[in-house]
Chains A and B, each alone.
Chain A
Amino acid sequence: MNGFSPALCAHIQRVREWGRAEVRPAGLEADRSGAPLPADHPYFAKYMGFRREHLPALEDDSVPEGPAVRMVAFNEENAYWDRGMGVAAPGPGLPSRIVATSGTPDQRERFLGPFRGTDQPRWGSFALTEPGGGSDTAAFRTRATRTDRGYLLNGAKCFIGNAARADWVLVQANLDPEKGRAGQRAFFVQHGNRGMTGIKIEKKMGLRAYESVSFILEDCEVPHENILGGERPAQASRSGAYAETMGTLNTTRVGVAASAVGMARSAYDEALGFAKASGAIRTARVRDRLEAMHRQLRAAWLMTLRAAWKADRKIPNIVDASMAKVFAAETAQDLASAGMEIVGLEAGAGHHLVEKLFRDAKALNIVEGTGQIQRIIMGRSLVGLPR
């Protein structure tokens, strides 16, 4: 159905088996307890084994698909079983690519090295969002001040994934507010660093399996060598390190779309399974609803796949990526809601997976650029919408 190579299909099949056996139950456990699984939960140790054995699939030369298509294939399958557990997975996470591309050799060794060749679950984290600025990154107020001993960070960050359990959090702060976004740099704040206070693990509607953390930076001092990329002169480009960071986020947008598709497929399968088991499938009303769900799901997947396919061929895909992100996220919401309609009061009872998906899916249209931001990005390309 997806036209993937046998080699990639084989890898996806292993992710599927792992997802069915481990990820789904762990996600449900976290959801029902209302909190992320603790860092020492046996799941994470098992995950490290799975990761050691199967994650090299992403670099498997026998897989002919490009890296972006592989990423969306894995993300889709992972999120089908539990999106929250995917975010909770140990590893350097989102900032790994930023550190790999923008970090100094010493930083790559110090901050990414410990993640290699270990069976010990450990996490990295990336802190961008602030209470007063989500999509409007120019409104960020966290400041960095250079001193003789290092940098003092002051401000607040919120909704930061895995930040309480992370070995380090890469914090975005403005070193030169007069330059606006161009003054932004990123700083490694290590676990237990004095001045990182008020750590609060948020209570969420959905995606409860991973920590969303808010914290305050109060004269939080980090050494000079903890500024990402080192103490180089100001970037020649207009927006400097900010552009580097946002560039990385752009590449992950299609991955988020794929996760949304996986969640949507999960909702569809739950609804279809229920309709078949209950006999509701015999009514035209339910079949029509399922047909519309399936059609939307297929379109979302094709959009996502095409955006990734273009990325692998270096074909400009800004519009495709934003389109996939917004459409897939809205599809996940739509299908989870329609799925609840089909499952009916069983969904209302609060124990059905489709109800959890309904709560989980909403976040996908908010994270990494809301649906409105994606439309603005598309509007800039399609009609030259002014900045």
Chain B
Amino acid sequence: MDFAQSESDDIIAETIGRFAVDELRPRLREFEAARSVSKAVRDSYAMLGFEGFDLPEDAGGAGLGMLSRIRTNRLLAEADAGAALALDRFAPAVYVIEAFGGIAALKSFEAMLGRPDSRFALVMDDGAGISSGARVEGEAAWVPATHADVLVGLGPHGAWVLQEGFAFEPVAGAALHAAGASRVRYTGAPIHAWHDPALAARALAKIRLYYASLIWGVLTDAAGFSRTYALDRVAFGKPIAHHQALAFLIVDMYVAVERVGLLIEDAARAIDAADDRAVGAAAAAFVDAVEASRFVGSNGVQILGGHGFMRDFPVEKAMRDARALGLLAGGCDAAREDAGAALAAIPLRAVA
């Protein structure tokens, strides 16, 4: 096991980290109020050349793999998870297209992938897995996006792709406001429809890890920000961090975030190595991130006390963002079910 980061990941981390700190973090509330990331910042991100960087090289990406992706997501989400979603026009929807249709299917979207304003969105559809030619119909109550040119549906048995026949209707959204928030209704004939539970599981593993890594970033920020605050804030004559009750809480929050990070990186390595345990490991990492968010997100606010409850500080946003991210990719309970089934060597979702 090698815990080191590659040289290319070091360079990515430095570039993305600087962008996140300089461009995203100072505009946290501005993006939230606007329900979008400004064009200038989107252009600035595009200039960095990281759009679609985890797509295969043959499809115009850099083929950097899941480990690079999750580390990048963490850095972006540490600044603003909503902005991270807004800036990524392709993932995680294109993971589905790649898993089922391979390079050929991705190439069929080549023109769109190259267009600066195009966007792919993902909905989870438990009925997905239809035969080619059939119509799909349904709705997703919340998608963290304002629009899309391509809508991808993924379920336990298969997936579909719609290029028309869907509409985004704005909703209030609980969190991640920089990405926008919409109810999506769809009805139409897919341009692609696939049935293959094994491929669906593989795509879902990447999607779960994608969102888990955003949670990881949010929790890193919540733990780090509240820790810094606890060192500044004085009560009873000393920094509140030096009261053992809070010191131990801060330590436990740190451990929880480290634990999540280790499981996410472990699952990413398994995905990149096409390891058999990747599906279960990714599901488990997602569950762990969601469970940790209840502890770290909430206590990030707790440490700041009344200030934490106010929008003057980012910890209340972190608490909401982490909670909302855990609802995506089919949610925590489905992931727990899949992770448990993988351990028991039971076919995924074949158990009651």
Contacts and interface: CB of A to CB of B under 8 A. Distances in A.
Contacts of A275: 344
A282 to B, nearest CB: 7
Contact of B247 (A2, A282, A375): A375
Between B266, B344, B346, the greatest number of chain A beta carbons within 10 A of the residue's beta carbon is seen for B344
Contacts of B341: 287
Given A299-B259, A306-B262, A379 B3 contact: no
Contact of A3 (B1, B250, B258): B1
B284 A294 contact: yes
Interface string B1-37: 1110000000000000000000000000000000000
Given A284-B340, A302-B262, A385-B242, A323 B255 contact: yes
Interface in B239-260: 239, 241-242, 244, 247-248, 250-252, 254-255, 258-259
Nearest to B254: A382
B241 A1 contact: no
Contacts of B254: 323, 378, 382
A3 B1 CA distance: 5
Nearest to A294: B343
B1 A305 contact: yes
Contact of B343 (A2, A287, A310, A383): A287
Given A299-B262, A306-B3, A309-B3, A383 B344 contact: no
A384 interface: yes
Contacts of A276: 344
B69 interface: no
Contacts of A354: none
A120 to B, nearest CB: 38
Contacts of B248: 372, 375, 379
A316 interface: no
B321 interface: no
Nearest to B266: A302
B339 A282 contact: no
A299 B231 contact: no
A379 B352 contact: no
Interface in B303-324: none
Contacts of B3: 305-306, 309-310
Interface in A96-131: none
Most buried by B among A1, A2, A299, A302: A299
A261 interface: no
Interface residues of B, number: 37
Contacts of A227: none
Contacts of B340: 284, 287-288, 290-291
Interface string B204-235: 00000000000000000000000100110000
B258 A303 contact: yes
A168 interface: no
A191 interface: no
B343 A385 contact: no
A295 interface: yes
Contacts of B343: 272, 287, 290-291, 294
Contacts of A309: 1-3
B351 A383 contact: no
Contact of A282 (B231, B251, B281, B351): B351
A140 interface: no
Nearest to A309: B3
Given A282-B351, A291-B287, A326-B255, A299 B1 contact: no
A309 B337 CA distance: 33
A310 B2 CA distance: 10
Q: Which 5 A-B pairs have the closest CB atoms?
A: A287-B340, A383-B241, A291-B340, A3-B1, A302-B262
Interface of B: 1-3, 227, 230-231, 239, 241-242, 244, 247-248, 250-252, 254-255, 258-259, 262-263, 266, 277, 281, 284, 287-288, 336-337, 339-341, 343-344, 346, 351-352
10 contacts: A290-B344, A294-B284, A298-B281, A299-B263, A303-B262, A323-B255, A323-B258, A378-B254, A379-B244, A379-B247
